[in-house]
Amino acid sequence: MTETSSQNRISIEFSIKAAIIILLWATPALVSKAFVGNQSSFPGLFFGFLRYLLGALSLFAIIAFRGDIKRLIVVFRHQLLGTLICAGWLILMIIGQNFSIYFILGSSSSVLLNFNPVIVYLLAPFFFLDEQYSKVQSIAVIVSTVGICLVFFAAVDLFVVNFTDFILGNALGFLSGVAWAGYTLTLRKMFSDESSEEVTSVILLLAALILLLMSFLLEKFPPIESYSFDSIIGLIIIGVGA
């Protein structure tokens, strides 16, 4: 295989993986609203627990297949504080995302969640003094910011219909983006030398257990009829893509 063909193959593989990642991360709010249902079907905290639990189990299966369970235990024992901080960010993110869709469009919530690259762009230099950005990256951030504003103003008719829902929904959606940015920066700062699968699986498990406790104290667990075929498919899509 020539060097050119090898580079083309790598480029295609990268493009496919990037497309899958974008699809999985851009659509959770839409899938939540379309497949899982409203707050009476799956309360927000409990839904977050299910999503993160499925994500953790998916990663555990990959780690077990590779035979790296011992490494997983090491991460849990020696990086507990860092994983708890990251779990806290993920809990805030899921609260913002899951509860925002009760007040605003799923598309608006998804866009606000993905505002995190802009926040990371603004804050990263304070965490990493050697952080530098190219002109292309700066232009991309400006375009993203304009896109966020357009989505916000596109839903401004909700402002007239229900002022409280409009403000609360967008505030929660923005919270999810801020929390995701905080998670990204903390992960890079504290776990730059660790394997991502092991660290992420521990973080997801801790976040899932904390959300389960919060749900037990603050919510009613969903009735058995909530687990329809559509909702289960939606949970699997979101959980595996977590």
pLDDT tens per residue across span 155-174: 555 555 566 777 787 788 78
3-state helix, strand, coil in the chain (%, to 5): 80, 0, 20
Region 201-224: what's the mean pLDDT? 88
How long is the chain?
A: 242
**Residue-range definition of the domain harbouring residue 209:** 46-56+194-242
As a whole number of angstroms, the distance between CA 56 and CA 61 comes to 9
- 182 and 213 share a domain? no
- 50 and 116 share a domain? no
**Inside any domain, residue 182:** yes
**Inside any domain, residue 8:** no
pLDDT tens per residue across span 88-123: 999 998 888 777 777 766 656 666 666 666 777 777
Determine the pLDDT at residue 27. 61
**Inside any domain, residue 61:** no
3-state class (DSSP) for residue 178:
helix
Determine the pLDDT at residue 144. 73
**Inside any domain, residue 35:** no
More confident position, 39 or 112: 112
- 188 and 89 share a domain? yes
Nearest to 119 by CA among 96, 153, 87: 96
**Inside any domain, residue 186:** yes
Cβ–Cβ under 8 Å, residues 144 and 122: no
Cβ–Cβ under 8 Å, residues 104 and 173: yes
Could you tell me the pTM of the whole model? 0.73
- 171 and 211 share a domain? no
- 214 and 157 share a domain? no
Confidence at 86, pLDDT banded by 50, 70, 90: very high
As a whole number of angstroms, the distance between CA 115 and CA 134 comes to 19
As a whole number of angstroms, the distance between CA 106 and CA 172 comes to 12
Confidence at 211, pLDDT banded by 50, 70, 90: very high
